[in-house]
Every structure is written in C-alpha cells, then in structure tokens.
C-alpha cells in the first residue's frame, strides 16, 4: 500500500520528465505564433507547426538552415549583423517594438511580421527563441483607416469655407487651414484641442471682429450662445470688411460641425442688386409719373376741345350750319384720334412696365361678342360694312379670360376689319373649337388685306404695314397691345391675310376645365323707356366739384340742355363736401385732381358721413393710370369716367341714376 501510495503520490523521475516534455512540446506546437529557435551561428534548431504554416516549409527543410532563409534578401546582411550583436547582450524584447519587419515565405512572397526575442540558456550555450506573428491583416486594416482619415482630412482641407469639428466638450477635433488662418487666427500653436471659447477670445484679442457698437461682452455671449445652442445662423463682420456666416450642426456624438462661409461677395452683390432694383424702381415710377402727368396735361386741353366741339354739335338753341358742322366733324375726329393715340401709348407703356394686371375668369363668349357688336355697330354702319356675329358652338361657349381685355382685343380686331374693309363688305366674328382645350375667336374681313412684305412685322409697335401715308387713321400700336394682352391672359394671337382679298385675325384662349351646360344667351336690355331727363317733372340736383374753369363751363353748358337738372359747381373738395352735406344732391360729379384734398379723399369722407353716404359719386378724371383705377374701389365711387368726357356715356350714367332715384 505504502509503495503503491508512494508510487501514486510521487511518480518516478523519468515519467515526470516525459510528461513535461509532452506538455511543452504541445504548447509549442499549438502556439498561435511561429516559434523559431536558433543557435549562436544563426542555425535553426527548433520550429513549430505554425512556422511551417506561416513560411510554407516542412520543418525538415528548415532545421539546420540559417535563420536568414526566412528573411527577405535585402535585409539579410543587416539581419546577421544584428543577430551577432544580440548574442553579445541578449535580453528579452517584446513584440510591438515599432520596428518594420518582414518575413519571406518559401514561395518568395514577403509579409509584415512582429517578432519577440528571448535568450535561452542551455547546456549547449545560449540559444535565441523568436516568436513571429503575421501582421498583414492588422497592417491592411491600419492602412485602410489611415486612408479614410487622409481622405477626410484632404476633403476638409479642400473646402474653401472654414470648417471645424468640435467634440462634446467643445474642443476642436479637426479643422481646415481656412479656419485656422481666419477664424482661429488669434490662437497661437495648435488649434486641435482648443475650445470654441478659447478660439473666440483669441480672435477678439487679435481684433478680428467688427463689433459695430455691440460691447465685447454682449458679442461674446451672443457667439457662445449660438455655439452651444445653434438656432439659425450667426452672422459676423470682420474689421477688414468681410461678412461671415456661421452655421453649427450637432453631430451624432454630441459634438458640433461648424461651417463658416465668407459671404462678403454675396452681401456686396445683394447690396448692388438692391441699389440697382431701387434705381430701376425709381426710374420706372418716374416714367409712370411722367406718363400719368403727361396724360393729364394732354387730356385736359383735349377735354376742352372735344367737350366744346360736342356742345357746338348738339347746340339746339343756335344750331350750326352744315358747313360748320362738317368742319367741326374734322375737329372732333382729329381730337379723338389724338386721344386714342395717348390712350394707346399709355396702355402699351403700362403693359411693358408690367403694370397691367388681368383678372382671369370664366367668360361667356356670346356675351362678349354681343357687347363688341354693340360697340362696333355705329362705326360699321358709317363705313357701310355689315357686322356679322356667327353662332357660338356649344363647346366654345366659355373661355378663361379677363373679360374687359378680351373685349378690347376683339374691338381692336373689329375696328381694323372695318377700317381696312371696303364699303359693302363684311366683318364677321366667328368662334371655333381648336383642339379640346382651346377656343379661337376670329374676326374675318373681305377688305384690302396686308401686303406680303409687311406681314412678318405686323404685331410690332408702330408698324402700319404700308398705311403710313394712306388716308386711314391709325397708330400702329393696336396689334402690339392686342398681342401682349393675349399673352398676359395665357392666350395667343395670329392672322392670315391675302392682299386685296381680306384678312382674318384671331385670338386663341383656353377653355375652362369643365364646361357646364350652356345657358341661353342673355337678353339685350331694352332701351325703349323715355329719358327721366325729359323736360317735365321734378328736378335733380347735381353737385360738380371741379377746379378747371373750362371743365366747369363745359358741364354748365351740357346741363343747360336739361331743364330738370340743377347744377351746383364747387372748385375745391374741402368746400364741396360741405355743400354736398348741406344741399343733399341726387348725384355728385367729382374731379380727382383737385388742389388740396383729392377727389379720392373727398369721396371717402362722403362715404363715411351718415348724411352723405347714400349719395352716388361719379369720378371724372384725366388720369387713366392703372394705379388710379385700383383706388377706385377703395374710394367707393359709383362710376369712374375718364376725361375727355364722352357726353353720351355721362348722360347714360346720369339717366340710370335718376331713374333709380326719382325725386318725390
Ligand atoms: P393701326 O390700325 O392703328 O395702324 P394696328 O396695330 O391695329 O394699328 O395695325 C397695324 C397695321 O396692320 C395697320 O396699320 C394695317 O396696315 C394692318 N392691319 C391690321 N388689321 C388689318 C386688317 N383687318 N386688314 C388689313 N390690314 C390690317
């Protein structure tokens, strides 16, 4: 028992050695690193399985060979020197010494290695054991990381704007040289690691910023607040006149990416643009002012000419002779032509200045055609031309247009068809469905046509297509206005013309998206009722507020024809509104351009006062500018008439008013 115990407790010495050897053998064989042991002469005395795998040799081929077999040839000479040196003072050296070492495989390929060395004392003298590790994978990974970071750095560097990345403690992690040389110019030494606050203070000390009256403390606070709580952008000025725009964005790690743009150029351009815009606006408003006052200046004397000429024409008390009436006709025609010219030039310049607005709505084509026909009928009958309005096809019953401008275009085409038509001829207004979405309204005549050589420029301003010296009056602007207006409404124009045979001018307009069932055309209003201004019955009081003596004289004479109208004239708005309040007239006729209070203001006052707010005010103004028209609605006029007064228009307006407001 004792001996067996002894045996069990203390195995024989020879067995213990074997066990140790086995364990060591296996440790060596299973080690993850290649283990190579050499003697003083550099001969390999031991290798493990990993050495065979790593270098691609059988261990038989290695044992006894010089260790340099595993070293690339260019390092061999150096390697053997090192080895000799090492044997003189052998000491352990760990891996990761920072040396760039290379191994050589049996197939000639090289690979990066890390090596640890240790001297082994043996009975046969000192041996050296080396553990060799293949670090190709790690090197590749490191190279990739380095490449990615180099790319990032060079991208950041190549940005012309200033860029800095801060960590969660507001310390710079990365920045480019644009940032360094401007924004961080007050910082000495490295920028990376500095806080935003340090950089800001450095820049403040270096006098980088133009504070523009703000205290340093307030400026600092504003910048620091923006840095930690970036909302919107932070705009800063430098003392050398630059404008900087700073934008901070939070990163996922809680840091901040700060981009600073030099927007000096943009700011300068924007300022220049604003100046240019202001100049252009001033010039354009000067032009419209000029046009407005020119129109006023020209229309005021025209007003007298046309007004008194019409009075002479209608004078029943001392009628003119045939000869005189004939001459007067010329005065009127000349005056009307001048008026049209002024109106056309004004209209065109307003369109060109972009001051014409259109209000596009569903418009019933038949209604507009009826209106146009009524307007053109007197002119057509004077010229001996038959005006025909063709039936409107069901699918073309409505278009999208500005009703007034649409009518203006057709009146323009129509009056050309009459002007350039021949007595006994026809002018026809026709409507066609073009494609599913477009309606074409055309005016066809069998008149003189347009010479071929003039056809290409017919829509250009002041082109009269050979009519410059002819007897037919015109300005050459009508078609230009027509084209621009059509385009403003989203439509287009065109024409076909055969010299000596006739012309057809058209406008194409879009149809409304879905066309409802067409209604019956509206009935034309009957005008058979006797005029309420007939000589019998109660009288109507009219207050006329006007400062121009010849306009007052004109209105007096006009009203003198009507025994039932009592006309009160007042030269200023201030007095005029008092008179209106006191005398309670049936109608007020208001000039707009008055000394002191304007016609607009006066009318507004009348609309406000309870005693006068029911009294209709007819505005009479020489200014036919768009701006004026847009104020009409505000002022609350009953009707807005432009001078020179069209007598029939004024009379119709008055008659309609008196009709609805018969005195007791
Ligand atoms: P205006 O009639 O005032 O001269 P427009 O711009 O309306 O100016 O027309 C330009 C020119 O086109 C006219 O002068 C005329 O020569 C020619 N024109 C226009 N419409 C017709 C037409 N229906 N028939 C023949 N010529 C026309």
DSSP H/E element including 654:
helix 647-659
The answer to whether residue 532 is domain-embedded is no
Distance from residue 582's CA to the centre of ligand 1 (Å): 53
**In a mutational test of the pocket of ligand 1, which residue from 479, 500, 504 has the highest number of ligand atoms less than 8 Å from its CB?**
479
The answer to whether residue 625 is domain-embedded is yes
**371 plus 506 within the same structural domain:** yes
**In a mutational test of the pocket of ligand 1, which residue from 344, 429, 451, 464 has the highest number of ligand atoms less than 8 Å from its CB?**
464
**In a mutational test of the pocket of ligand 1, which residue from 380, 408, 420 has the highest number of ligand atoms less than 8 Å from its CB?**
420
State which of 321, 352, 383 marks the end of a domain. Answer: 352
The answer to whether residue 516 is domain-embedded is no
The count of structural domains within the chain is 5
Q: Which region among 226-240, 254-268, 340-354, 600-614 has the lowest average model confidence (pLDDT)? A: 340-354
**176 plus 257 within the same structural domain:** yes
Residue nearest atom 14 in ligand 1 by C-alpha distance: 464
CB of 416 closer than 6 angstroms to any ligand 1 atom = yes
What confidence category does residue 67 fall into, taking pLDDT thresholds of 50, 70 and 90? very high
The CATH number that applies at residue 39 is 3.30.450.20
More confident residue, 71 or 287: 71
The CATH number that applies at residue 405 is 3.30.565.10
* Burial class of residue 261, CB neighbours in 10 A (0-12, 13-18, 19+): middle
The CATH number that applies at residue 336 is 1.10.287.130
**384 plus 460 within the same structural domain:** yes
If you count them, how many residues does the chain have? Answer: 664
**251 plus 176 within the same structural domain:** yes
The answer to whether residue 76 is domain-embedded is yes
What confidence category does residue 6 fall into, taking pLDDT thresholds of 50, 70 and 90? very low
Q: Residue 546: which domain range?
A: 540-660
State which of 298, 321, 352 marks the end of a domain. Answer: 352
* pLDDT given for residue 4 in this prediction: 39
**336 plus 451 within the same structural domain:** no
More confident residue, 491 or 475: 491
Distance from residue 383's CA to the centre of ligand 1 (Å): 16
**545 plus 461 within the same structural domain:** no
CB of 629 closer than 6 angstroms to any ligand 1 atom = no
* pLDDT given for residue 392 in this prediction: 92
The answer to whether residue 598 is domain-embedded is yes
**501 plus 366 within the same structural domain:** yes
Distance from residue 397's CA to the centre of ligand 1 (Å): 28
Mean pLDDT along residues 238-267: 91
Q: CB count, 10 Å around CB of 592?
A: 26
Determine what percent of the chain falls in helix, strand and coil, rounding each to the nearest 5: 45, 20, 35
At which residue do the structure tokens 């010219």 appear?
341
What confidence category does residue 237 fall into, taking pLDDT thresholds of 50, 70 and 90? very high
Distance from residue 282's CA to the centre of ligand 1 (Å): 35
**40 plus 129 within the same structural domain:** yes
The answer to whether residue 434 is domain-embedded is yes
The answer to whether residue 588 is domain-embedded is yes
Structure tokens at 123: 């009975």
Strands (E), 467-585: 492-498, 502-510, 540-545, 565-570
**374 plus 504 within the same structural domain:** yes
Q: Answer yes or no: is pLDDT of 144 > 90.
A: yes
**127 plus 147 within the same structural domain:** no
Intra-chain end-to-end CA distance of the chain, in Å: 155
* pLDDT given for residue 35 in this prediction: 95
Mean pLDDT along residues 611-632: 73
Question: What tens digit of pLDDT does each residue of 494-532 get?
Answer: 999 999 999 999 999 988 875 344 333 333 333 344 444
Distance from residue 641's CA to the centre of ligand 1 (Å): 28
**214 plus 284 within the same structural domain:** no
Q: Read off φ and ψ for residue 306, nearest 5 degrees.
A: -70, -40
The answer to whether residue 518 is domain-embedded is no
**484 plus 558 within the same structural domain:** no
CB of 40 closer than 6 angstroms to any ligand 1 atom = no
CB of 502 closer than 6 angstroms to any ligand 1 atom = no
User: How far apart (Å, rounded) are the C-alpha atoms in residues 313 and 113?
Assistant: 120
Strands (E), 157-232: 162-166, 172-175
* pLDDT given for residue 113 in this prediction: 94
Structure tokens at 229: 């709580």
State which of 134, 156, 174 marks the end of a domain. Answer: 134
User: How far apart (Å, rounded) are the C-alpha atoms in residues 399 and 395?
Assistant: 10
* pLDDT given for residue 288 in this prediction: 67
User: What is the maximum span of the chain, computed from C-alpha positions, in angstroms?
Assistant: 172
Q: Answer yes or no: is pLDDT of 541 > 80.
A: yes
CB of 442 closer than 6 angstroms to any ligand 1 atom = no
User: How far apart (Å, rounded) are the C-alpha atoms in residues 393 and 196?
Assistant: 76
């Amino acid at each position: 028992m004792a001996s067996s115990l002894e045996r069990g407790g203390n195995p024989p010495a020879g067995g213990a050695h074997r066990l140790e050897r086995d364990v060591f053998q296996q440790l060596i064989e299973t080690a993850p690193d290649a283990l190579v042991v050499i003697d003083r002469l550099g001969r390999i005395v031991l290798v493990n399985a990993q050495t065979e795998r790593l270098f691609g040799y059988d261990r038989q081929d290695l044992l006894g060979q010089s260790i340099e077999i595993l070293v690339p040839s260019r390092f061999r000479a150096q390697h053997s020197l090192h080895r000799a040196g090492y044997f003189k003072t052998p000491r352990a050296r760990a891996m990761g010494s920072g040396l760039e070492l290379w191994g050589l495989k049996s197939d000639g390929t090289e690979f990066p290695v890390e090596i640890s060395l240790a001297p082994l004392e043996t009975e046969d003298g000192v041996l050296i054991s080396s553990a060799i590790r293949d670090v190709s994978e790690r090197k590749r990974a490191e190279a990739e990381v380095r490449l990615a970071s180099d790319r990032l750095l060079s991208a950041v560097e190549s940005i012309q704007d200033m860029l800095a990345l801060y960590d969660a403690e507001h310390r710079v992690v990365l920045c480019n040289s644009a940032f360094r040389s401007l924004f961080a110019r007050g910082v000495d030494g490295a920028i990376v690691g500095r806080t935003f606050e340090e950089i800001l203070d450095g820049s403040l000390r270096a006098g980088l910023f133009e504070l523009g009256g703000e205290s340093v403390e307030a400026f600092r606070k504003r910048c620091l607040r923006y840095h930690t709580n970036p909302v919107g952008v932070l705009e800063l000025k430098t003392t050398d006149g630059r404008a900087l725009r700073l934008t901070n964005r939070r990163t996922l790690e809680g840091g901040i990416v700060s981009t600073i743009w030099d927007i000096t150029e943009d700011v300068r351009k924007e300022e220049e643009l604003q100046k240019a815009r202001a100049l252009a606006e001033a010039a354009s408003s000067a032009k419209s002012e000029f046009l407005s006052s020119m129109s006023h200046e020209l229309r005021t004397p025209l007003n007298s000419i046309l007004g008194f000429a019409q009075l002479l024409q209608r004078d029943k008390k001392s009628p003119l002779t045939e000869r005189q009436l004939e001459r007067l006709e010329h005065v009127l025609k000349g005056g009307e032509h001048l008026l049209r010219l002024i109106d056309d030039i004004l209209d065109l310049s307003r369109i060109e200045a972009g001051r014409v607005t259109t209000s596009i709505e569903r418009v019933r084509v038949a209604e507009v055609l009826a209106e146009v026909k009524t307007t053109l009928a007197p002119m057509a009958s004077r010229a001996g031309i038959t005006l025909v309005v063709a039936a409107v096809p069901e699918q073309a019953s409505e278009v999208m247009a500005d009703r007034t401008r649409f009518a203006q275009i057709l009146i323009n085409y129509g009056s050309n068809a009459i002007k350039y038509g021949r007595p006994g001829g026809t002018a026809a207004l026709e409507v066609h469905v073009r494609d599913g979405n477009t309606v074409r309204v055309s005016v066809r005549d069998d008149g003189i046509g347009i010479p071929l050589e003039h056809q290409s420029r017919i829509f250009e301003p002041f082109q009269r297509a050979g009519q410059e010296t002819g007897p037919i009056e015109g300005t050459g602007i009508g078609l230009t206005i027509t084209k621009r207006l059509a385009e403003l409404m989203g439509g287009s124009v065109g024409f076909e013309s055969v010299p000596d045979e006739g012309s057809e001018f058209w406008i194409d307009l879009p149809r409304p998206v879905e066309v409802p069932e067409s209604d019956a055309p509206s009935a034309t209003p009957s005008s058979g009722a006797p005029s309420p201004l007939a000589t019998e019955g109660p009288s109507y009081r009219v207050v006329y507020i006007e400062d121009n003596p010849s306009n007052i004289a004109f209105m007096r004479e006009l009203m003198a024809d009507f025994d039932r109208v009592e006309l009160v004239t007042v030269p200023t708005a201030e007095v005029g509104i008092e008179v209106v309040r006191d005398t309670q007239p049936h109608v007020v006729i208001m000039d707009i351009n008055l000394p002191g209070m304007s016609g607009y203001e006066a009318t507004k006052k009348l609309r406000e006062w309870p005693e006068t707010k029911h009294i209709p005010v007819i505005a009479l103004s020489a200014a036919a500018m768009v701006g004026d028209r847009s104020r009409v609605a505000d002022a609350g006029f009953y009707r807005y008439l432009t001078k020179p007064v069209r007598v029939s228009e004024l009379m119709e307006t008055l008659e309609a008013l008196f009709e609805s407001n018969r005195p007791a």
